[in-house]
Amino acid sequence: MIKNEYLKSVMEKVQQRNPGETEFFQAVSEVLESLEPVVERHPEYQANGIIERITEPDRIIKFRVAWVDDNNRVQINRGFRVQFNSAIGPYKGGLRFHPSVWEGTLKFLGFEQIFKNSLTGLPIGGGKGGSDFDPKGKSDMEVLRFCQAFMTELYRHIGPDVDVPAGDIGVGGREIGYLYGQYLRIRGSSESGVLTGKGISFGGSLARTEATGYGLCYFTDAMLKANGKSFKDQTVVISGSGNVAQYALVKATELGAKVITLSDSNGYIVDKDGVDFETVKQIKQVKRGRIKEYLETHPNAEYHEGCKGVWTVPCDIALPCATQNELDEESAKILVKNGCTVVSEGANMPSTKEAVKYFLDNKILFGPAKAANAGGVATSELEMRQNSERTSWTFERVDEKLKGIMENIYAKSAAAAKEYGQPGNLVLGANIAGFQKVADAMLAEGIF
Ligand code: NDP
């Protein structure tokens, strides 16, 4: 509940102006609640309308995407780019291709991205985009034609110093390659810094594929160590089986934990011997199959229908890595009852507001998404840097920098939580630390 009158009035305006955008309200109200002590200490933010401005996107681009399917039928989807805030650098944030995508989803994701990008300490603003196109079940040629049609409009709104999209749900290396190819064709100049998550042969960065999952584990490891714990011999439950989940599995295993679950939107697997990454890679990256197929080579593992059940599997550490609001209060209570003491978010806003409150009230070590999953965007910025230097760093160099950035995000968030009287509350700490840099830049840049 927001108590401060100024913040309350901003929240009411956000709700009036953006009817029905519940995920966006959820993201904004969490940040505004955290900012109460900050606006009280810094009246200049209210005097300069910083909160009103930071909750309103700079612009939203919305367009028709017409493409031809394999049956020669014309299909229509909607494309979007939400350019939320560029006070500290070019807009940066992924593209999501999923049937559930609409303006409200992308506004929540773009808003979160402002603070996440600021927390990395790198000069990147917040944005997000995507389409209600569903790549699942489409042929390679259909995905290619869709990506070309999407970029044919998007290209005029982006650029290496303007707005630099990357991947997200439904947008991986294949899609980024097709999107970049079309940008190159239209612009006729090799501006590799316009997209990140590219293939290594055309300007991609080593370790970008691994970065969000690895970064999540580096952040979680820093949080564990600060509390006298570690990943060693811990049982870990991970949801999702996409990019973030797969590389969280690899790094948590490398750090000594046993990861026993993965899921998709149909169901989840439990492998008490520890989930085998090479099998998952074959299913998800090569065959583009379903997680259920894991049992074909691991008959001792179990498969259960329904993705929510993954939270009923007893564990020490839970890493939600699928999608927003996948972990509700009921699941939070089951996790805690079964002995889970650490939750760290790989997906964006995977825990509902009630679940987050339950974790904080029960002294669970809780790593909020905008801090814990910032490793992907941080490494994207390192990719932009390599592109502008026309060079390519080693895997080790990128990975080392990623680790340093994640440890720093933990330290910054923990320090802000302590400074504002709630030590250990990283939700508060990450929101405040992320906000202040952007707010100060907006103050210095004047009102627009
Ligand atoms: P992928 O598309 O690679 O994988 C998404 C995974 O989540 C799949 O297993 C998918 O299952 C599952 N999933 C998606 N939607 C739902 C749903 N509605 N219910 C249940 N499961 C679902 O995406 P990523 O791994 O890249 O992204 C996962 C999360 O991490 C997202 O929240 C994203 O915003 C966030 N993130 C990603 C970053 C990145 O670098 N990729 C960076 C920072 C955050 P199915 O195949 O059945 O749809």
Residue nearest to atom 47 of ligand 1 (CA): 265
Residue 213 Cα, ligand 1 centroid: separation in angstroms?
Answer: 12
**Average pLDDT along the chain, 448 residues, taken 10 residues at a time:** 96 98 98 97 97 98 98 98 98 98 98 98 98 97 98 98 98 98 96 97 98 98 98 98 98 98 98 98 96 98 97 98 98 98 98 98 98 98 97 98 98 98 98 98 93
Residue nearest to atom 20 of ligand 1 (CA): 265
Is the Cβ atom of 323 under 6 angstroms away from ligand 1?
A: yes
CA 57 – CA 60 distance, rounded (Å): 7
Pairing of strands 74-85, 59-68: antiparallel
Residue nearest to atom 32 of ligand 1 (CA): 347
Asked whether 402 and 378 are in contact (CB, 8 A), the reply is yes
The residues assigned a catalytic role are 128
Shortest-distance atom of ligand 1 to CA 307: 20
CA 181 – CA 151 distance, rounded (Å): 9
Which parts of 255-394 fold into alpha helices (H)?
277-281, 294-297, 329-337, 353-361, 369-372, 375-389
The predicted pLDDT at position 183 comes to 98
Is the Cβ atom of 125 under 6 angstroms away from ligand 1?
A: no
Residue nearest to atom 34 of ligand 1 (CA): 348
Q: What is the total residue count of the chain?
A: 448
Fold classified for 209-367 = Rossmann fold (3.40.50)
CA 355 – CA 343 distance, rounded (Å): 11
Q: Which of 109, 112, 244 to mutate to test the pocket of ligand 1 (most atoms within 8 A of CB)?
A: 244
What are 120-137's pLDDT values in tens digits?
999 999 999 999 999 999
Give the alpha-carbon dihedral of 434, 436, 437, 442, to 10 degrees: 120
Residue 61 Cα, ligand 1 centroid: separation in angstroms?
Answer: 23
What are 380-436's pLDDT values in tens digits?
999 999 999 999 999 999 999 999 999 999 999 999 999 999 999 999 999 999 999
Residue 322 Cα, ligand 1 centroid: separation in angstroms?
Answer: 4
Q: Is 8 exposed, middle or buried (0-12, 13-18, 19+ CB in 10 A)?
A: middle
Instruction: Let me know if domain 59-191 sits in CATH 3.40.50.10860.
Output: yes
Shortest-distance atom of ligand 1 to CA 172: 3
Q: Which of 114, 134, 169, 406 to mutate to test the pocket of ligand 1 (most atoms within 8 A of CB)?
A: 169
Give the residue carrying structure tokens 């494309």. Answer: 79
Residue nearest to atom 39 of ligand 1 (CA): 168
Is the Cβ atom of 320 under 6 angstroms away from ligand 1?
A: no
Torsion over CA: 114, 118, 120, 126 (sign): positive
Is the Cβ atom of 169 under 6 angstroms away from ligand 1?
A: yes
Is the Cβ atom of 244 under 6 angstroms away from ligand 1?
A: yes
Give the residue carrying structure tokens 């990019």. Answer: 243
Asked whether 369 and 349 are in contact (CB, 8 A), the reply is yes
The predicted pLDDT at position 447 comes to 84
Torsion over CA: 269, 348, 247, 390 (sign): positive
Pairing of strands 317-319, 235-238: parallel
The predicted pLDDT at position 421 comes to 97
Give the alpha-carbon dihedral of 305, 307, 313, 318, to 10 degrees: 160
Domain ranges of the chain: 59-191, 209-367
Q: Which of 109, 323, 382 to mutate to test the pocket of ligand 1 (most atoms within 8 A of CB)?
A: 323
pTM comes to 0.98
Q: Which of 106, 246, 250, 264 to mutate to test the pocket of ligand 1 (most atoms within 8 A of CB)?
A: 264
Are 59-191 and 209-367 the same fold in CATH? yes
The predicted pLDDT at position 448 comes to 79
